[in-house]
């Protein structure tokens, strides 16, 4: 017993809706991982533990950059670049020299013993050579003032020359300050003066050039960029790898260029790919949950999953050496945009492109180009009016042109930095151009198949259902012509109102055409058909309760017919919701008269529902009632039409029939205004023609040019004359 209970709980767990969602999620991520990882199968077959298992021969000429040698050479070139020096503030050096000279003059003027003066000068001049030190001190103390000022002036000029050329830290490291001073010494300086000038300048000179790190880095980068890549050429027929040879980075790059995916297919690689797919799928579902709840349904998620797997598979199967620009990403975006929304399609394409770029090791330029193209494609598809299927082809052409411009721009930018193969540029431009066009053709061809497979109706499918030659509509014309005419009028109202409030006008029009098909089951029980067939109202023979059962059954009958003719669910919603849970007031009032108010409940005379839950079905509910009510008025004035519309809307609001719909009060006001405008046009007055029209034409015949009175017109006049004479004879009789 316990075992059966456990099995029952286990079965219940695996068949619950939440569990099925998780299982579908895991199944999709596993399938997508398998598709992406399948490209690595070829590499796994030829490489094991980094060693080639067999000889690999180049099927075409390959030019491969030796990245390792190129990088090594670039480092060597960068290291040879001398640091770029920038001048620092050097006014303080000149100030220090002037301060030193002023100190010497003050010491000379002091009224102290000579020994004290020598001691103070010795502190100013830090000289290791004692003989040189004594000579400098004696010169500074005993030289004539004019000679000393001459030495000071020459030292200032020499310092100016030195600072102009600049001194760096390396000059100090090389201990060549003396040589720098001598090289910049002014002319006409005696040997004695040279020693004094050197001694003074050595006390104040410091580096006035510092390394400009930014400029130095730029210089090194420029030097690196100027290095041409080392390239290795494998001619067609050459061996890329020998059996037993280790696979270096150069050989991996050659294999990648030959069409091999160089990820090793091990458990770590599979896990990494699965994690990327898992994150991408989770992000898409999160976006749908928080921003697109209306499309968080199995059929919409299924088509997104199927298209993603299909595009990923095409990425695996494209021939070796072919550009990724042939992958029909625009077709993916067009199809998903039409079946869901352009915004959803764009988010899905961004995630799919990111996963594929990582999994298939695409160059960044392909990712950027397709991302930009996806934005433009989403905008272009959103502008389609769905009048004809050729609109999709036109959009594909625009997408191809946009892709051509994007790819061309990327290559022009690359050409400014590196050498670009012009043949490759031309090929990729052609690929992306035709990709856009053929993607649109593919999307147009697959649309009907996907509509049938995923039970999603597209605007084009709606347009086809709106064709009056459809089998069900033809049957409605023949078997219930009054209902058909009523549906036409209602569809015009719905389409105009939907467009006015920003709802789907095509869906509203087509849904209105089919909303009353349930009347086909018993067309003669509906008043609009009775006058056409000239029969007495059969409800005169029934009780109100029986009549109510017949009338309120037509939404359910319509649903059965819709399923028989395989109408999509979105159209079935119009059929079952257009009366909501409204009251069949005519038969209710009759029952009250016959049975008494205490014996009749409103719930017994209401439609089964449900209430309208979309803008389009809510518009239909109002339009259906308004058209019937206004048609019952005889020569209504605009005020009467407007009053009737407002009365019906207020009744539906008070009865709570619009409570489940997303219509706002502003929408309802716009709908009422639109209905009033259209119905006024339908109720226009007609001209009353004269009985003696033929006589009037005969009188005007004299004044007409002969060439205007052709044989057909003559015959028409005679016919009218005959009809007019017959009418007079009948009146005389």
End-to-end CA distance of the chain: 100
Residue 194 predicted with pLDDT over 70: yes
Q: What is the spatial distance between Cα 348 and Cα 421, in angstroms, rounded to a whole number?
A: 33
Q: Hey, CA dihedral for 347, 349, 350, 352, is it positive or negative?
A: positive
Say what percent of the chain tops pLDDT 70: 83
One-character DSSP codes across 560-595: HHHHHTT--HHHHHHHHHTTTT-B-HHHHHHHHHHH
Q: Are 197 and 100 in contact (CB under 8 A)?
A: no
Summarised one tens digit per residue, pLDDT across range 546-602 is 999 999 999 999 999 999 999 999 999 999 999 999 999 989 999 999 988 888 999
Residue 2 has a pLDDT of: 61
Residue 265 has a pLDDT of: 57
Residue 507 predicted with pLDDT over 50: yes
Summarised one tens digit per residue, pLDDT across range 654-678 is 999 999 999 999 999 999 999 999 9
Q: What is the spatial distance between Cα 546 and Cα 522, in angstroms, rounded to a whole number?
A: 14
Question: In a 3-state reduction of DSSP, which class is residue 69?
Answer: helix
Summarised one tens digit per residue, pLDDT across range 286-333 is 999 999 988 998 999 999 999 999 999 999 888 656 789 999 999 999
Residue 58 predicted with pLDDT over 50: yes
Residue 501 predicted with pLDDT over 80: yes
**In the numeric block, which tokens belong to residue 147?**
């000679």
Residue 238 predicted with pLDDT over 70: yes
Q: How many Cβ atoms are within 10 Å of 604's Cβ, its own excluded?
A: 15
Average pLDDT, the chain: 82
Residue 47 predicted with pLDDT over 60: yes
Residue 89 has a pLDDT of: 64
For the domain covering 462-682, report its CATH number.
Answer: 1.10.3210
- Number of helices (H) and strands (E), helices first, in the chain? 34, 8
Q: Are 667 and 681 in contact (CB under 8 A)?
A: no
The CATH class of 267-456 is: mainly alpha
Q: Are 234 and 61 in contact (CB under 8 A)?
A: yes
Place of tokens 């480092």: 75
């Amino acid at each position: 017993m316990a075992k059966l209970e456990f099995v029952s709980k286990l079965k219940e767990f695996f068949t619950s809706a939440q569990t099925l969602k998780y299982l579908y999620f895991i199944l999709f991520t596993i399938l997508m991982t398998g598709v992406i990882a399948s490209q690595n199968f070829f590499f796994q077959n030829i490489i094991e533990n980094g060693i080639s298992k067999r000889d690999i021969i180049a099927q075409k000429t390959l030019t491969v950059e030796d990245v390792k040698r190129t990088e090594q050479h670039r480092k060597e070139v960068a290291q040879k670049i001398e640091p770029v020096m920038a001048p620092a503030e050097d006014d303080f050096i000149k100030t220090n020299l002037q301060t030193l000279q002023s100190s010497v003059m003050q010491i000379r003027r002091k009224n102290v013993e000579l020994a004290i003066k020598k001691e103070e000068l010795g502190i100013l001049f830090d000289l290791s050579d004692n003989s040189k030190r004594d000579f400098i001190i004696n010169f500074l103390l005993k030289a004539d003032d004019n000679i000393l000022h001459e030495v000071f002036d020459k030292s200032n000029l020499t310092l100016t020359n030195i600072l102009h050329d600049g001194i760096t830290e390396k000059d100090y490291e090389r201990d060549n300050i003396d040589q720098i001073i001598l090289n910049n010494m002014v002319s006409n300086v005696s040997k004695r003066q040279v020693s004094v000038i050197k001694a003074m300048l050595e006390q104040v000179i410091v580096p006035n050039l510092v390394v400009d790190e930014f400029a130095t880095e730029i210089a090194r980068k420029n030097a690196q960029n100027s290095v041409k890549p080392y390239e290795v050429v494998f001619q067609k027929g050459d061996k890329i790898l020998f059996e037993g040879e280790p696979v270096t980075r150069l050989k991996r790059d050659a294999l990648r260029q030959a069409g091999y995916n160089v990820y090793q297919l091990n458990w770590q690689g599979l896990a990494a790919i699965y994690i990327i797919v898992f994150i991408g799928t989770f992000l898409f579902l999160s976006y749908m949950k928080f921003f697109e709840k209306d499309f968080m349904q199995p059929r919409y998620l299924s088509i997104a999953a199927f298209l993603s797997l299909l595009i990923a598979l095409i990425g695996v199967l494209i021939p070796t050496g072919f550009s990724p620009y042939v992958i029909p990403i625009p077709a993916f975006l067009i199809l998903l945009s039409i079946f869901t929304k352009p915004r959803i399609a764009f988010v899905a394409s961004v995630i799919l492109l990111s996963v594929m770029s990582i999994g298939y090791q695409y160059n960044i330029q392909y990712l950027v180009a397709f991302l930009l193209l996806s934005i433009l494609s989403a905008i272009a598809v959103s502008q389609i009016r769905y009048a004809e299927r050729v609109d999709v082809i036109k959009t594909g052409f625009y997408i191809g042109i946009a892709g051509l411009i994007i790819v061309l721009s990327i290559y022009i930018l690359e050409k400014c930095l590196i050498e670009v193969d012009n043949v490759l540029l031309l090929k990729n431009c052609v690929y992306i151009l035709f990709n856009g066009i053929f993607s649109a053709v593919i999307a147009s061809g697959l649309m009907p198949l996907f509509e049938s497979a995923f039970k999603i109706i597209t605007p084009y499918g709606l347009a086809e259902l709106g064709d009056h030659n459809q089998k069900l509509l033809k049957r409605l014309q023949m078997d219930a012509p009054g209902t058909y005419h009523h549906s036409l009028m209602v569809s015009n109202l719905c389409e105009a109102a939907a467009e006015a409030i920003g709802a789907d006008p095509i869906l509203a029009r087509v849904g209105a055409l089919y909303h009353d098909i349930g009347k086909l089951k018993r067309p003669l029980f509906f008043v609009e058909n009775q006058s056409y067939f000239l029969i007495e109202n059969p409800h005169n023979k029934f009780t109100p309760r029986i009549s109510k059962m017949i009338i309120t059954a037509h939404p359910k009958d319509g649903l059965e017919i819709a399923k028989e003719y395989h109408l999509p669910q979105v159209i079935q919603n119009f059929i079952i919701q257009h009366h909501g849970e409204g009251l069949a007031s005519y038969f209710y009032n009759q029952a009250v008269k016959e049975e008494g108010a205490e014996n009749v409940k409103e719930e017994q005379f209401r439609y089964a529902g449900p209430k309208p839950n979309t803008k389009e079905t809510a518009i239909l509910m109002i339009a259906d009632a308004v058209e019937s009510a206004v048609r019952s008025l005889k020569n209504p004035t605009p005020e009467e039409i407007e009053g009737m519309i407002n009365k019906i809307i207020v009744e539906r609001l008070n009865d709570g029939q619009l409570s489940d719909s997303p219509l706002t009060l502003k929408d309802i006001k716009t709908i009422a205004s639109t209905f009033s405008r259209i119905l006024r046009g339908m109720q226009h007055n007609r001209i009353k023609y004269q009985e003696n029209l033929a006589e009037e034409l005969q009188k005007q015949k004299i004044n007409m040019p002969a060439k205007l009175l052709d044989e057909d017109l003559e015959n028409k006049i005679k016919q009218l004359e005959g009809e007019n004479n017959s009418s007079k004879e009948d009146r005389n009789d």
